[in-house]
């Protein structure tokens, strides 16, 4: 099993939106970075767990846990010329972009803020990519040790 951290701007898509979705699941679409695309296409598997991280908001941080319920498949939003994520280079025959389906597993009672995560940057979370200077990827892997430690902060 793999562990991930997936960023989203709550003004665009939040944990509340995921909670309201049918069966509390939806596709995670719109990724337009090749490194992240490769993770979605090649590394994500059904059963993987991911932290949902709210970014670009008043209190950025981890708000809950999602489970991958469908592994990487071509991002259909890239085919729709009316969609903001449209990419004319993406075709059904030669897909360029991928997405996964996720389901809400747990909503944390309070946000594990970026500031709280930074308090542990010299310890258990020293390798957590979101705490590394210059990392702007919307999806990053999380180690099993980091996962367990962050879950202990949530509980």
Q: What are phi and psi of 85, to 5 degrees?
A: -95, 10
The confidence score (pLDDT) of residue 3 equals 99
Parent domain of 126: 3-154
Taking residues 6-14, report their average pLDDT: 97
Percentage of the chain lying above the pLDDT 90 cut: 99
With beta carbons less than 8 A apart as the criterion, state whether 148 and 46 touch.
Answer: no
Q: What is the C-alpha separation between 40 and 59, in angstroms, rounded?
A: 27
Closest CA to 150 of 129, 109, 120: 120
Q: What is the CATH number of the domain that holds 19?
A: 3.10.590.10
pTM of this prediction exceeds 0.75: yes
- SS3 of residue 103 by DSSP: strand
d(C-alpha 23, C-alpha 5), whole Å: 21
The pLDDT tens digits of the residues spanning 54-82 come to 999 999 999 999 999 999 999 999 999 99
- The full DSSP string for 9-73 is -TTTS-HHHHHHSGGGEEEE-----HHHHHHHHHT--TT-EEEEEE-SSSS-EEEEEEEEEEEEE
pLDDT score recorded for residue 106: 98
pLDDT score, position 96: 97
pLDDT tens for each residue of 87-146? 999 999 999 999 999 999 999 999 999 999 999 999 999 999 999 999 999 999 999 999
pLDDT of residue 102: 99
Helix (H, G, I), strand (E, B) or coil at 145: helix
Res 44: pLDDT: 99
How many domains is the chain built from? 1
What 3-state DSSP class applies to 119? coil
**CA quadruple 111, 147, 104, 12: dihedral positive or negative?**
positive
């Amino acid at each position: 099993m793999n562990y991930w951290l997936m960023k989203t701007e709550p003004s665009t898509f939040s944990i509340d939106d995921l909670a309201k979705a049918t069966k509390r699941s939806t596709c995670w679409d719109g990724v337009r970075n090749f490194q992240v695309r490769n993770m979605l296409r090649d590394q994500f598997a059904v059963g993987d767990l991911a932290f949902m991280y709210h970014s670009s908001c008043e209190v950025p941080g981890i708000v809950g846990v999602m489970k991958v319920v469908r592994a990487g498949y071509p991002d259909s939003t890239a085919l729709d010329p009316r969609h903001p994520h449209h990419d004319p280079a993406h075709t059904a025959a030669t897909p360029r972009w991928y997405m996964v389906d996720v389901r809400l597993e747990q909503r944390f009672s309070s946000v594990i803020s970026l500031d709280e995560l930074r308090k542990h940057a010299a310890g258990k979370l020293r390798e957590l990519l979101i705490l590394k200077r210059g990392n702007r990827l919307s999806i990053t892997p999380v180690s099993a040790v980091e996962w367990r430690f962050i879950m202990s902060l949530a509980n």
